Amino acid sequence: MIGFASGRRIMSGVSVWRCLQKITRTSNYTTKAQLLFHAQASTLFIPTSTNKLLSSFRPVSWQTFRLCHRDSQGTSEKGDSKESFSLRALTEAPKPALYLGFSGLIPFLSAPLLMAATQSFYPELAYAQMVYGASIVSFLGGARWGFAIPSGSPAQPDWMNLGNSVVPSLLAWLALLCRDNIAEGALVVVMGLGLSLHYDLTLLPGYPAWFKAMRTVLTLVATFSLVATLGLKQFCAEKKIREIQK
């Protein structure tokens, strides 16, 4: 049982609890008259001290609620403002970039296609393909370095951008040292291509969506061509171009 200091009739705790539940389950009030009505009704069974406590709270206005809602939406939109990309973004790419980029796949594809057509593995062609891949890996690192240098670039010339742009060049140099083992050199080139793509898509900001889409396609084709060359090395007889010329 609950007693009130104001001398009002004593009500059971169960009744008070049921009344509170009815109020909390009531739908949102949109007018001041409804808020005032329920506030007056609550004084019939809530103690005076509780009324004073509740009166210290002020309902949030609709304008304030909308402002907070807009701020939360703006924050979520800003959080999602990272420029995503898809293959459809290739339609927005400049034609010189598309033509030069996809024509750069010719040295990658010509070696495994020629070896597959002749059913022979030519170490000279495989090494030339690997060297070309190493040069591309080094080029990708230099492109990131050059992108971070100009003032106003989204990629700042900090340790993250400049340091990561040096790593592909080091991998390319390591691949060129594997002259006696083409398989190891090709694997290092594949590692450099994948690492450069990972940098450009996730770690380092700034590249437009069409460039990211083009880089993804070019990297996948170049990687599969190197893997195809390694597969031909295992299943085809090895021949040398010098012996054929003689």
Q: Are 176 and 189 in contact (CB under 8 A)?
A: no
Number of domains the chain is built from: 2
Residue 240 shares a structural domain with residue 120: yes
Which tens digits make up the pLDDT trace of 12-65? 444 444 544 554 454 444 444 454 444 454 444 444 444 444 444 444 444 444
Asked if 184 and 205 sit in the same domain, the reply is: yes
100-130 pLDDT tens trace = 999 999 999 999 999 999 999 999 999 999 9
Check if the beta carbon of residue 202 is closer than 8 Å to that of residue 226. no
* Type and span of the H or E element at 238: strand 237-238
User: Does residue 98 sit in the same domain as residue 198?
Assistant: yes
**What one-character DSSP code corresponds to residue 138?**
H
Token representation of residue 183? 């398989």
Q: Which percentage of the chain shows pLDDT scores above 70?
A: 63
* Model pLDDT for residues 53-101, shown as the tens digit of each residue: 444 444 444 444 444 444 434 433 333 334 555 778 888 889 999 999 9
At 157 the pLDDT is 86
This model's pTM is above 0.85: no
Chain length of the chain:
246
Whether residues 118 and 194 share a domain: the answer is yes
Q: In this structure, is residue 85 part of a structural domain?
A: no
Question: Would you say residue 86 lies in a domain?
Answer: no
pLDDT of residue 99: 95
Q: 170 is in which domain, residue-wise?
A: 91-245
Considering the domain architecture, whether residues 55 and 129 belong to the same structural domain is answered as: no
**Higher pLDDT, residue 161 or 230:** 230
224, burial (CB in 10 Å: exposed 0-12, middle 13-18, buried 19+) = middle
CATH number at residue 227: 1.20.140
- The DSSP bridge partners found for residue 120 are 237
